[in-house]
Amino acid sequence: AQVGPRSKEAFRRASCVFPDGTTRATIERDPLPRYVSHGSGAYVFDADGRKFLDLNANFTTLIHGHAFGPVVSALERQLRDGTCFANPTEREIELAELICERVPAIERIRFCNTGTEAVMFAIKAARAWTGRPAIAKIEGAYHGAYDWVEVSQSSGPSTWGTPAEPQSVAYYKGQPASVLDEVVPLRFNDVQGAVDRIERNAHSLAAIVIDPMPSRAGLIAPDAEFVAAIQSTARAHNILIISDEVLNFRQGFAGASARYGLQPDLYTLGKIIGGGLPIGAIAGRASVMSMFDAGQSRAAVPQGGTFSANPMSMTAGLIAMQNLDHAAFARLERLGDLLRSRLMQSIERWQIAFSVTGAASLFRIHPKRRPPRDFREAFWSPSEAAIMTEMTRYFATAGIILPNGAAACLSTPMQDGDVDLIGQVFENFLSDVAQSFEW
Ligand code: PMP
């Protein structure tokens, strides 16, 4: 979409210092990124003074929107008291207690700075606990930048292998073959395929890493039978289940596993639990978490970091989570249901090849007549990618940032009127643009 002169000038300068002009692979751009000057509540303002309803919210992090008042006030105080220490602070205990109270399966927790780190440490703990090296993961699912979870993520049909034998696909040039050999890709919602592949590789599997509703793989709900099959097969072979809820912890008071009946040994958390500041966490059963316990000597898996549990992130996270009570979750759930049904009514009215997935405060629009059931079905052809780009542009022109290919989300400052607006812009897009497109 068109960006203004300030963003263009910023990008020109950025291109002199960053490879491809950006410093994050995942940044939204078309083809240039829009530079932001500030955010407030549900809105962001770009460098050229345009205002947008923000359905990206830093990739679903900002569940209370931008510059949430209670977090800002608490951070102002913490800023004056110091931003990081080589000592623990009491704030980290408060945030840990809140999470342990909300999720009964979380008995112990460790903080780090990103979801990537959380996933990395959880996998290391699973290896230490089981004495096995490999992991299974869902094809197409995104779990951050640890080599093993980067496998089989975003490449196209020619690389996938047959439905019965999904291949380990490299994500970056030079990714070691030994890493590819230590990952077993599973197709989401394919009960028999997943069980067969887990059983065949059980001797080497430390963990199954699973996001209950993997956003990049389609933001598709897990079938109850799939969850049950993964669970019982893992248990039968002493393979740990790591539920990656960095994104989906926002699906409810006790997170996504509670919602879908998964009983993980370990959780990885991030995004919302930092209240807008950098965070990650590894959490779960006390027995498995003891892999991080140094006791009198050295931990099985040493885990730390210069900024881990820094009091700024702990404070922002604590205040944000305290403000996410049952009522807040119920309200987000209602707004999400309302929005998804509005979008589906428009699709129905226009009899057009779109579908909607998601749950709670999350949604994704697919250029597909039937809602996809896994990454392969959700994958876009070039013409499908083209219509999605058109849609993102149309929304931007109407003052709404709609993520293209990632999960879109609602936040607590949004009202019914915002849902109406999103629904109306989608309806207009179908009547003005999508009608004349073939994909
Ligand atoms: N796991 C999941 C499910 C995620 O959505 C993300 C980030 N989008 C990560 C891990 C990585 O988190 P971070 O970007 O904080 O490293």
The ranges of the chain annotated as CATH 3.40.640.10 are 70-322
Smallest CA separation from ligand 1 atom 5, residue: 247
Which residues 6+ apart lie within 8 Å of 165 measured at CB?
Answer: none
The CA distances from residue 385 to 346, 367, 380, 405, in Å, are 20, 8, 6, 9
pLDDT given at position 163: 94
CA angle 411–414–415, rounded 5-degree value: 145
Cα separation, 119 vs 48, whole angstroms? 38
Please enumerate, as own/partner, the contacts of 414-420 that have beta carbons within 8 Å and a separation of 24 or more. Answer: 414/42, 414/53, 414/65, 414/335, 416/335, 416/338, 418/42, 418/53, 419/335, 419/338, 419/339, 419/342, 420/342
Q: Ligand 1 centroid vs 246 CA: distance in angstroms? A: 6
Question: CA-to-CA distance for 318 and 298, rounded, in angstroms?
Answer: 30
Question: What does the alpha-carbon distance between residue 33 and residue 378 come to, in Å, rounded to a whole number?
Answer: 25
Which of these is catalytic: 244, 265, 374, 418?
Answer: 244
CA 227 to chain centre: 19
Give, using CA atoms, the residue closest to atom 14 of ligand 1. 115
Q: Which two tokens stand for residue 220?
A: 């598709």
Q: What is the mean predicted confidence (pLDDT) over 385-402?
A: 97
What ligand 1 atom has the least distance to the C-alpha of 211? 3
Name the residue of 28, 135, 142 to mutate for ligand 1: max ligand atoms within 8 A of Cβ.
142
Retrieve residue 38's tokens. 């500030």
Over the stretch 88-146, which tens digit does the pLDDT of each residue have?
Answer: 999 999 999 999 999 999 999 999 999 999 999 999 999 999 999 999 999 999 999 99
- Secondary structure class of 224 (helix, strand, coil): helix
In ligand 1, the atom with minimum distance to the C-alpha of 117 is: 16
Separation between Cα atoms, residue 438 and residue 384, nearest integer Å: 9
Q: What is d(CA 1, CA 288) in angstroms, rounded to the nearest whole number?
A: 48
Contact (CB, 8 A) for 215 and 154? no
Ligand 1 nearest atom to the CA of residue 247, by list position: 5
Residues lining ligand 1, CB < 6 A? 59, 114-116, 119, 142-144, 211, 244, 246-247, 270, 280
pLDDT at 361 over 80: yes
- Nearest ligand 1 atom to the CA of 214 is 3
Mean pLDDT, to the nearest integer, of 30-43?
Answer: 96
- Count Cα atoms within 13 angstroms, Cβ side, for 59: 18
Pocket test for ligand 1, best of 153, 213, 247 (most atoms within 8 A of CB): 247
Of the candidates 69, 54, 38, 57, which has an alpha carbon nearest to the alpha carbon of residue 319?
69
Smallest CA separation from ligand 1 atom 1, residue? 143
Q: Is the pLDDT of residue 332 over 90?
A: yes
Quote the CA–CA distance of 408 and 329 in Å, as a whole number.
Answer: 17
Copy the structure tokens of residue 163: 């439905």
Structure tokens at 406: 């990632």
* Residue nearest to ligand 1 atom 2, measured at CA: 143
Which residues, 6+ apart, have CB-to-CB distance to 365 below 8 Å? 343, 354, 355, 356, 388, 391, 402, 408, 426
Instruction: Report pLDDT for 1.
Output: 63
142 is catalytic: yes
Average pLDDT for residues 253-275, to the nearest whole number? 98
Compute the distance from residue 197 Cα to the ligand 1 centre, in Å: 26
Ligand 1 mutation target, pool 27, 266, 271, most atoms within 8 A of CB: 271
Contact 123, 129 (CB under 8 A): no
User: How many angstroms is it from 306 CA to the middle of ligand 1?
Assistant: 20
User: For 174-185, how does the pLDDT look when each residue is reduced to its tens digit (9 = 90+)?
Assistant: 999 999 999 999
> What pLDDT does 301 receive?
98
Q: How far is the CA of 428 from the centre of ligand 1 (A)?
A: 33
* pLDDT at residue 402, as a whole number: 98
Report the chain's mean pLDDT, rounded to a whole number: 97
In the set 271, 368, 374, 418, the catalytic residue is: 271
Sheet containing 108-112: give its strands across: 108-112, 280-284, 266-270, 240-244, 205-210, 134-138, 183-186
Distance (Å, whole) CA 65 – CA 411: 6
Pair 96, 103: CB distance under 8 Å: no
Cα 295 to ligand 1 centre (Å) = 30
Nearest-atom number in ligand 1 for the CA of 280 is: 15
Whether pLDDT at 321 is above 70 = yes
Q: How many CA atoms lie within 13 A of 213 on its CB side?
A: 26
Gap from CA of 150 to ligand 1 centroid (Å):
11
For the stretch 232-246, pLDDT in tens is: 999 999 999 999 999
Provide the pLDDT for residue 436: 87
Q: Class of the 70-322 domain?
A: alpha beta
Give phi and psi for 408, each to the nearest 5: -100, 150
CA angle at residue 241 from 238 to 247, to 5 degrees?
175
Ligand 1 closest atom vs CA 113: 15
Per-residue confidence band for 438, with pLDDT thresholds at 50, 70 and 90: confident
